[in-house]
């Protein structure tokens, strides 16, 4: 897979978006259409289509990606939160550049699992 894919929205946002956090080849941005009080997206800077291709990352890179997600949530003030990946259109994936949703609720408990898209 190319490092960057021409015309990919998240390749562009990884390069020049409004980053909540950045480091080690990953960035976090605010979801434009939040479905929780805090709704962040973590993206690798390099283009990978979906979670199905997660083996494109080395074990070390995968570990850093997971640590980046947890660090981003903590820095956003979240202790309790959900991390969700939609893998494939049938699961609700609409942007085909791997991204992890971080969802946190500051005004009460998280809703039940049913209802994420
Ligand atoms: P998914 O449906 O899992 O592919 O998630 C894609 C997410 O990207 C959705 O939650 C959208 O609201 C979000 N999104 C789409 N365009 C933008 C954008 N320009 N900036 C930030 N988030 C976006
Ligand atoms: Zn991309």
pLDDT in tens, 7-56: 999 999 999 989 999 999 999 999 999 999 999 999 999 999 999 999 99
For residues 81 and 38, what is the distance between their CA atoms, to the nearest angstrom? 9
The response to whether residue 32 sits with its C-beta less than 6 Å from ligand 1 reads: yes
Name residues whose C-beta falls within 8 Å of residue 63's C-beta, 6 or more positions apart in sequence.
none
Atom of ligand 1 nearest to the CA of 35: 10
Please report whether residue 112 resides in a domain: no
Between the CA of 108 and the centroid of ligand 2 the distance, in Å, is 34
Please report whether residue 81 resides in a domain: yes
Please report whether residue 59 resides in a domain: yes
CATH number for 38 = 3.30.428.10
Please report whether residue 109 resides in a domain: no
Q: Which ligand is nearest to the CA of 95?
A: 1
Please report whether residue 3 resides in a domain: no
Please report whether residue 95 resides in a domain: yes
Please report whether residue 36 resides in a domain: yes
Nearest CA to ligand 1 atom 18: 32
pLDDT in tens, 71-98: 999 999 999 999 999 999 999 999 999 9
Eight-state DSSP code of residue 110 = P
Domain span at 92: 9-104
Number of domains observed in the structure of the chain: 1
Of 19, 41, 87, 88, which is best to mutate to test ligand 1, by the most ligand atoms within 8 angstroms of its C-beta?
41
């Amino acid at each position: 897979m190319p490092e960057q894919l021409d015309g990919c929205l998240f390749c562009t946002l990884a390069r020049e978006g409004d980053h909540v956090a950045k480091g080690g080849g990953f960035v976090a941005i605010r979801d434009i259409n939040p479905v929780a009080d805090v709704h962040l997206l973590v993206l690798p800077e390099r283009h990978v289509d979906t979670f199905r291709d997660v083996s494109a990352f080395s074990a070390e890179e995968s570990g850093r990606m997971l640590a980046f997600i947890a660090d981003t949530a903590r820095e956003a003030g979240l202790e309790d939160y959900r991390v969700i990946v939609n893998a494939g259109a049938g699961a609700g994936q609409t942007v085909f550049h791997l991204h992890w949703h971080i969802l946190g609720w500051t005004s009460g408990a998280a809703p039940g699992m049913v209802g994420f898209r």
